[in-house]
Each structure stands twice: as C-alpha cells, then as structure tokens.
Amino acid sequence: MSAPASARFAGRRAAITGAANGIGRATALRLAKEGASLALLDIEAAPLAATAEACRAAGAPAVLPLTADLTQEAAVADAFARIGRELGPLDILFNNVGQSARERSRQFHESEPETWRFVLNVSLMTTMLVSRQVVPGMRERRAGRIVNMSTESAFYGDVGMVDYAAAKMGVIGFTRSLARELAPFRVNVNAVAPGAIRTRAHDRLPPEVIDKVRNSVPMGFVAEPEDVAGVVAFLASDDARYITGQTLLIDGGRWMI
C-alpha cells in the first residue's frame, strides 16, 4: 500500500537542477513538503540559497544547495561526488535546467552557430551529463526515477527558436532511448513538456505577446510553475511505476489544436 501523498517521498533523495527559480523551485518545494531530502543545483547562488531555506522550512529532512555551471563536465562530476558523500545515493533526478537564447533569437537563415551551441549545451548536454552521474547507481540498485525537461515547442516548432526546439526534441529522444536501456533495471525515465507557464522568462515578454499566448490556450489561462511541479512529483512517485519513456505535455490543450 502506498504512503499518504503528504509523505510519499519520505526516505527518498532527489536532485533538482535549475532549482533556484520557477519550475525548479516549485518542484523542490513540492518534494520537500512530501518528505524528500534534496540536492539543489543552480548557477545562481543567492536565489538558490533562498530556495534551500524555503525547502527546509517546508519540511525537507536534508537540503544540500550546490552552485555549479552544469554545462561544465568537471563541475557536474564534482557536484555529484559531493551529493554522494553528503546526501547519499539518489532515488530521483529532475533535469530541469535549460534555456533558450530568446534575446538572440533569429529566424534560422539569420541565426548563428555560436547561439545554437549555447542552447544545445544548456538545454540538452546538461541533461545528458547529469544523467550520466546517476544512471550507474540506479542500475546497480535497480531503482530510480529520472524526469527530464522538454517543451511543447519541440512538438509544434517555434519561429526564431529553431535551436531550442531542436535541443528539446533531443531531450525527448534521449528520454525514450534511456528509458529502453533502463527499463530492465526498473528505472523509469520520462519527460515533461510545458507550454505557457508563468516564469521569469515569460514575465519578460511584452503584454501583447502574453495576451496572444493566453488566447491560444484552449483552457484560457497561463499556468503556474506549481502546475508542472505536480506532474513531476507524480512521475517521480510510485504512482507512476509503470510509466516510462513518455513525454507529458502540460500546455492547457494547445497541442491538440
């Protein structure tokens, strides 16, 4: 019989990348409230410290904040070595870190390879580098949950952001392939693909753009980071033990149009 929802992650250890703000912060708080011990990783030290403090206040038994640039292989290895020493083996990984280059976005014929590399590194390679740190242990223990961050743009495309859509579709392909590799070891690998979510990036858009996005959502509103956090928590829980290799769209119905 499964534990009550309020304690379903008791005794579990989770790592969340990009944990300082937005969806990463909301997911950290959700897992903290449900009893998980947490390793929180981000490149922004001050908001990461604030998230860590909020998670402690929410009831997390242990919280380890780590400031790191996850595009750097050595930094990833160092961070996860410390997690292993101070927190122990991980049961859950949420690969949330990622970024478009919205301020440098151009239609493809005007875009630059330097921008492509940046977006691919931060939105795809980080997911692969971080996953590489936890997969051997999860295979050995024959248990674990990995949730990767994609985007609805990977499905329908986004003018001026070809690099981001390509990187995030890469995350989906990575998710499916890794799920096949790890299924015999009872390790689940899934992805979430959010649509219009109120994050810092979304808040920087002009009001007319936000209105246009909202009007394109069949449900008629822009979601909050907590709406994604709940889905991540589900995929990380025993309630999703028979789900692997899937990508769940969280977009208020936009993709069904």
Q: What pLDDT, in 10s, does the model give residues 77-112?
A: 999 999 999 999 999 999 999 876 556 666 767 778
Q: Which residue did the predictor score with more confidence, 116 or 191?
A: 191
pLDDT, tens only, 152-198: 989 988 777 799 999 999 999 999 999 999 999 999 999 999 998 98
> Percentage of residues in the chain with pLDDT exceeding 90?
75
What is the pLDDT, as a whole number, of residue 2?
Answer: 42
The confidence score (pLDDT) of residue 103 equals: 62
3 pLDDT more than 50:
no
Q: Whole-angstrom Cα distance, residue 145 to residue 235?
A: 8
Q: What local confidence, expressed as pLDDT, does residue 113 receive?
A: 80
The Cα-based distances of 173 to 88, 149, 176, 241 in angstroms read: 29, 12, 5, 20
Exposed / middle / buried, residue 241 (Cβ in 10 Å: 0-12, 13-18, 19+): exposed
pLDDT in tens, 223-254: 999 999 999 999 999 999 999 999 999 999 98
What domains can you pick out in the chain, each with its CATH number?
Answer: 5-256 (3.40.50.720)
Say whether 164 is catalytic.
Answer: yes
Given 80, 118, 164, 174, the catalytic residue: 164
Res. 147 pLDDT band, cuts 50 70 90: very high
Convert the pLDDT of each residue in 29-41 to its tens digit.
Answer: 999 999 999 999 9
- Does residue 208 register a pLDDT over 90? no
pLDDT digits (tens, 9 = 90+) for 17-73: 999 999 999 999 999 999 999 999 999 999 999 999 999 999 999 999 999 999 999
Reduce the secondary structure of 84-113 to three states and give it as a string. Answer: HHHCCCCCEEEECCCCCCHHHCCCHHHCCH
